[in-house]
Amino acid sequence: MNLIILSKDDFIEDTSRVNIQDHRLEHIIKVNKPSVGDELRVGLINGDIGSGRIRSIEKNGIEMDVVLDRKPPAPLQLTLIFAMVRPRVFKRVLTQVTAMGIKKVIVINSYRVEKSFWKSPVLEEANLNKYLIRGLEQGQDTIVPEVLIRPLFKPFVEDELPDIIKGTLPFVAHPYTSEPCPYNIGRPVTLAVGPEGGFIQYEVDKLIECGFSTVHLGERTLHVESAISGLISRLM
């Protein structure tokens, strides 16, 4: 936890003082091992970043005086669309792309996605929120990404995608294409990444029809996590 994310509910009445409880309290005591007077990095959810000076440390709460004096880092101008993955991988992907600064994530279906994945509790709102907050804590950011879940490929691509890609360069990762992924685009991007094994040709064709260009990261087949962070870091 490189940043402690605060919510309005943590503040004591109309003061700039907070009382931190729940998993954050545990983490701070175990990892930061702070003393009274120490300063920790804090940020208000969907708000500014700053520091909290510790007033007291008790088993049931840490009190801090908070100053929020900086904007969170600029968002990454990249909308990420990825095919639903194995639930334990999904958690890590969502947390990692949040840490990287992505603010719009769309989880879609693909022929090669196992149907059972869509029933996983990882897609429930409370869980999504947990993974997003973990990513913000990691990346020292406060702005919660928007996550859309779209379990039907065709209506999503036909009805919603044309608006989503407006004003962006849309790329789809496709290992069997001849164009290496470009570097340092300097413009907003929409990036679509398929499941292990890739999108099927029909799906790639639908994305191309919508305006996407196919790109690859070399002749090796990468795990979806490496592919996503690799493509993002190369494009942006």
Tell me: does residue 38 bind a second copy (CB under 8 A): no
Q: Which window, 57-65, 123-131, 208-216, 224-232, contacts a second copy (CB under 8 A)?
A: 224-232
Cβ at position 90, least distance to a second copy in Å: 15
Alpha-carbon span 144 to 63, nearest angstrom = 24
Asked if 24 and 4 touch (Cβ cutoff 8 Å), the reply is: yes
User: Residue 233 has which token pair?
Assistant: 């870091």
Tally of CB atoms within 10 A around 22: 9
Tell me: does residue 139 bind a second copy (CB under 8 A): yes
Cβ at position 56, least distance to a second copy in Å: 26
Burial code (b: 16+ CB inside 10 Å, e: under 16) for 29-60 equals: eeeeebeeeeebebbbeebebbbbbbeebeee
Alpha-carbon span 76 to 168, nearest angstrom = 12
Tell me: does residue 174 bind a second copy (CB under 8 A): no
Asked if 190 and 168 touch (Cβ cutoff 8 Å), the reply is: yes
What is the DSSP-derived secondary structure letter of residue 13? T
Q: Which of 6, 80, 99, 113 binds a second copy (CB under 8 A)?
A: 99
Q: Which window, 17-25, 52-60, 139-147, 160-168, contacts a second copy (CB under 8 A)?
A: 139-147
Q: Which of 183, 186, 202, 205 binds a second copy (CB under 8 A)?
A: 183
User: Residue 83 has which token pair?
Assistant: 């095919």
Cβ at position 189, least distance to a second copy in Å: 14
SS3 227: helix
> Binding mask 46-85 vs a second copy (x if CB under 8 A, - otherwise)?
---------------------------x--x---------
What are 78's strand-pairing partners? 189
Tell me: does residue 232 bind a second copy (CB under 8 A): yes
192-221: contacts with a second copy (CB under 8 A): 217-221
Tell me: does residue 142 bind a second copy (CB under 8 A): no
Tell me: does residue 129 bind a second copy (CB under 8 A): no
Tell me: does residue 10 bind a second copy (CB under 8 A): no
Q: Which window, 80-88, 96-104, 112-120, 187-195, contacts a second copy (CB under 8 A)?
A: 96-104
Tell me: does residue 222 bind a second copy (CB under 8 A): yes
SS3 229: helix
What is the DSSP-derived secondary structure letter of residue 24? H
Alpha-carbon span 66 to 18, nearest angstrom = 7
Q: Which residues bind a second copy (CB under 8 A)?
A: 2, 73, 76, 92, 95-96, 99-101, 138-141, 181, 183-184, 217-223, 225-226, 229-234
